[in-house]
Amino acid sequence: MAGVPLSIRKALTIAFFALALSGAAAQSPAPVAQADMRLADQAALKLALERNDLGGAATLARQIVARSEERFGKDSAELVNPLTNLGTVAYRSGDFVAAEAAYQRAVRLIDGALSGADRRLVRPLQGLGETWLAAGKPSEAAIVLKRAVDLSRNLDGLYNLEQLDLVDALIEALEGADRLTEAEREHQNAFRVVETAYGKKDLRLVEPLDRYARWYESVGRYATARGLHARALALAEELSPTRSVLGVPALRGLARTWLLEALYGPEVEPTAAGPEMGDGTELFAPNAGTGRLNNDGERALRFALAILDAQKPSDPVLRSETLVQLADWHLIAGNGSRANGFYADAWKALEASPEQRRWLESPRLLFYRAPATAASRLRPTDPTEYVARNVLFRVRVGRDGKVIEPTVESSDAPEAAQKSAAFALRRARYAPRLENGEPMESEGVPFRETMLVRIPKEKPAPPAPEVPHPAR
């Protein structure tokens, strides 16, 4: 998940928070007409952002900065919030260079004051971190986001709820920088924050438990994830017996962990390249416990479906998603006819909302085990000995979701790396695209793999031949 812009909701939070503080600053002793102009500009900027008029918002944000400079001077801390607004507008416009400049200037204006414990630092630090995340610089983002999180904890307490957006961004940065141990620690801290705020017996823990469990799923800790999903399910059943639908995400999570564990097994990442095992036809990992699906996963999905069927009024989207998950389960298990029946039911469930079917109209990757030398798996002792090379495939996906001989469209990787990637891709399994509820074959599905290729070591030049001394 790294290198992608965070949600607009976070950007709006930065903007509106700063706007409110800017309005307060404008009430300092100043000519009434000038103060009124700045307040009017701030109100207009807020309205432009709400309308997503980024061009107009940029003009207004620059105007507010110019008027603040004229009123307070170019080195005044009163510019922090106007500059933060300017950075937010640039961020939302995709101009990360301008956003970075505005946020950095805002930080510099007050950096070092009050021993760095100035609350006004939090928002520009957050904006700078999210800008670097969006620009594909997770390592740099992690530094400033960690500083913002620490500042929030110092100012408002170790367990303040306001830090959670900051922690979410920090986790994304740490994941992008491959600092998974630190990311796990921040996940633990984030959950401890909500557990401390709400107590251990509160329905508001259900969603954080789901988010926490999904993290463990993403790093192959399926048993730990299953424990968190089970806790969420117990809370929903105990505290909301009349709204059992609150337990549906936990039931779906339990099924997902059993599926992932059967497919991938206990993951042990290689530290060096090794040979690919198997003949390319097996689906379940050789070390995946029993090597087959646990029936408890299917039972959990059927229980979730029964809850949704009994709900009045029904939730067609959630019901369709659960039917699709059940269909995917049977497809992976090799029961195509049952899978197709559930796919048809899922399609029909959205009859009143056909626009919600769009995600089913393209193939979806369900299972793929990257080759040992893929960048997502290989952890070399010395990364400088390797270079990243890409392989772009075009894939034909059958009605049963199987990959039909992938074709290399372009690549800068050596032939051996291409063959290794193709071998792994042939074992992948997709959910087929649906057309009127029926599985259909798909042509030209793109797939990209990044391989790590060892850099050949230069051979030392042979020693120069000895020149014999002339005879004396």
Read off the pLDDT of residues 241-256 as tens digits, 9 standing for 90 and up: 888 899 999 999 999 9
For the chain, percent of residues with pLDDT exceeding 90: 69
Question: pLDDT tens, 341-397?
Answer: 999 999 999 999 999 999 999 999 999 999 999 999 998 989 899 999 999 999 999
pTM of this structure: 0.79
pLDDT for the residue 85: 93
Q: What number of CA atoms fall less than 13 Å from residue 46's CA on the CB side? A: 15
What is the CATH number that goes with domain 1-198? 1.25.40.10
Asked whether the predicted pLDDT for residue 232 surpasses 50, the reply is: yes
CATH 3.30.300.30 corresponds to the domain 364-454: no
Residue 148 has pLDDT above 60, yes or no: yes
pLDDT above 90 for 117: no
pLDDT tens by residue, 298-324: 999 999 999 999 988 889 999 999 999
Nearest to 306 by CA among 241, 233, 245, 243: 245
Let me know: does 45 contact 67? Beta carbons within 8 Å. no
Q: Measuring CA to CA, which residue among 108, 105, 126 is closest to residue 116?
A: 108
Please list, in sequence order, all residues whose beta carbon lies within 8 angstroms of the beta carbon of residue 463, skipping any fewer than 6 positions away: none
Classify strands 429-431 and 442-454 as parallel, antiparallel or unpaired: unpaired
Q: What is the pLDDT of residue 284?
A: 53
| Segment holding 278, helix H or strand E | none
Give the tens place of pLDDT for each residue, 1-51. 444 344 444 444 444 444 444 444 444 444 555 566 778 888 888 888 888
Give, in order, the Cα–Cα distances in Å from 370 to each of 31, 121, 337, 422, 458: 65, 42, 28, 10, 29
| Residues 406, 395 contacting (CB under 8 angstroms) | yes
Whether residue 414 has a cis bond before it, omega within 30° of 0: no
Between the CA of residue 404 and those of 391, 422, 459, what are the distances in Å?
17, 11, 42
Most confident of 36-50, 70-84, 101-115, 414-428: 414-428
Amino acid at 188: Q
What is the domain partition of the chain in residue ranges?
1-198, 364-454
**DSSP-H helix ranges across 135-264:** 138-156, 164-176, 180-198, 206-218, 222-239, 248-264
**Which of the four pLDDT bands, split at 50, 70 and 90, describes residue 471?**
low
Cα-to-chain-centroid distance, residue 310: 33
Does residue 269 have a pLDDT over 70?
no
